[in-house]
Amino acid sequence: MNKNPALTIDRISLLQTFVRIVESGSLSAAASQIGTSQPTISRRLQSLEQLLGVKLIQRTTHTMKLTDDGERCYRQAYKLIEHWQFMEDEVSAVRDEPVGVLRVRAPHAFGQDQLIAPLADYLQRYPQVSVEWTLNDHSPDFIAEGVDCAIHVGAATDPGVVAVLLAEVPRIVVAAPSLLARYAAVNEVADLAQFPWLALNSFYRNEVTLNHINSDQAYRFAIAPRLSTDSLYAVRKAALEGMGAAMVSAWVVQDDLQQGHLQQLLPQWQAAPLPIYLLYPWASYYPARLRKFLELMKAVMPGLSGTQLPEKRSKPFKSISGSA
C-alpha cells in the first residue's frame, strides 16, 4: 500500500498551483487567484516538493525566490499544463465547446454599460463557461493577475501581448445649454477656446486636438481644466451641470443629446476616435472559451451603439495654429 500522501495528489493540480505561485509572486496572491486559502497553497507546494524530492522555492519572512530546481520545474510545468489543456479538449471532444472560467478585464464605463449585452449573449451561448468580469481602466499584468484577456480602449502599446483591433469610439465636443447661454455663439472652431473645459485625463489633460471630418485639417488649443478626472461618467455629469465643455465618447451622451440636456458643438470637428482592442498574452495554445470570446467580440463590437468600424488613415493631419 502506498503510504506517501504526495503520490495520491493530482499532479496536474500541484503543477498548476506551483505555476500560479510563481506568476503571482506569493502564496497569498496565488490563493486569492485560485480561490482557496494560503495554508492550502502551502500544503500543495510542500506536496510537490516532496513528490519531486527537491526544494523549489526559498522563502523568508519578506521574500520568495525560486531555486535552480524551481526554475527548471516552472519552465517544464508551464509547457505541461498547456499540453494538458490541449489534450483535455481533444479527448473530451470539446475543443470547440468552451468550458471553465474566463477572466476578463474591461474599462469601467464601457465595461458596465456597452459590453454587458454581448457578455450576456456569450454566457447564453456557452452554458459551461463562467466569467470573472473585472472593471479597471488600466491594462493588466496578465500572468501575475491571472487575467485571460482585456478589452482596452485607447492605444495598445505593449508589444508583449496580442492586440486585436475590434472597433473605434467616436469622440465629440459637448456642452450644456446653461453653459452655452453664458458665452458668445460658437461659429468657428477657434470659438471653443472661450469655454471652461473638463478634462478626461486618461486621454487629454492640457490640450484639445480636433480634426475636421471632411478634410485633413487639425486644430489644437491649450486648456486649463476646471475639473480633471479619469472617470468618463464624472465628465458627463459635470458637463450636464454646466461646469464646462468636454470631449467625450459619443455613446455615453447619446441620450443626453436626444433629450436636449447636452448639445454637440461643431459636429464637423471631432477628436480622433479611440480604438478598442482585445488584448491577451502570447501562448502556443488558447482554450476554446477565449477563442469564442474573441470571435464574438469581433462580430458584435462594431455594431454596438456609439462605435464604428476602424477607419483607414493614409496621411497625417495638417495642423492649424490655435490659441487658448
Q: How far apart are the first and last CA of the chain?
A: 83
**Cα gap 195→286, rounded to integer Å:** 50
**Burial of 217 (C-beta count, 10 Å sphere; 0-12/13-18/19+):** middle
**Cα gap 296→293, rounded to integer Å:** 5
pLDDT tens, position by position, 94-128: 556 788 899 999 998 888 888 999 999 999 999 99
Residue 199, all three cell numbers: 478634462
Identify the helix (H) or strand (E) that includes residue 103. strand 100-106
pLDDT in tens, the chain (324 residues): 444 544 445 888 888 889 888 888 888 888 887 778 888 998 899 999 998 999 999 877 677 889 999 999 988 888 888 777 767 666 655 556 788 899 999 998 888 888 999 999 999 999 999 999 999 888 788 877 888 999 999 888 887 788 999 999 999 999 999 999 999 999 999 999 999 999 999 899 999 999 998 888 999 999 999 999 999 999 999 999 999 999 999 999 999 999 999 999 999 999 999 999 999 988 767 888 999 999 999 999 988 877 888 865 433 333 333 332
pTM, to two decimals: 0.68
**Cα gap 45→14, rounded to integer Å:** 7
Alpha-helix runs per DSSP H in the chain:
11-24, 27-34, 38-52, 68-91, 108-112, 116-125, 142-145, 177-180, 232-240, 254-258, 288-300
**Cα gap 100→127, rounded to integer Å:** 10
One-letter amino acid of 145: E
Question: Percent helix, strand and coil across the chain, each rounded to 5?
Answer: 40, 25, 35
Strand partners, 150: 105, 279
Q: Residue for cell digits 486621454?
A: 203
One-letter amino acid of 76: Q
| pLDDT value at residue 194 | 95
Q: Residue for cell digits 487639425?
A: 218
Q: Output the CA–CA distances (angstroms, integers) from residue 245 to 194, 201, 217, 320, in the order listed.
A: 10, 14, 21, 21
Q: What is the mean pLDDT of the chain?
A: 85
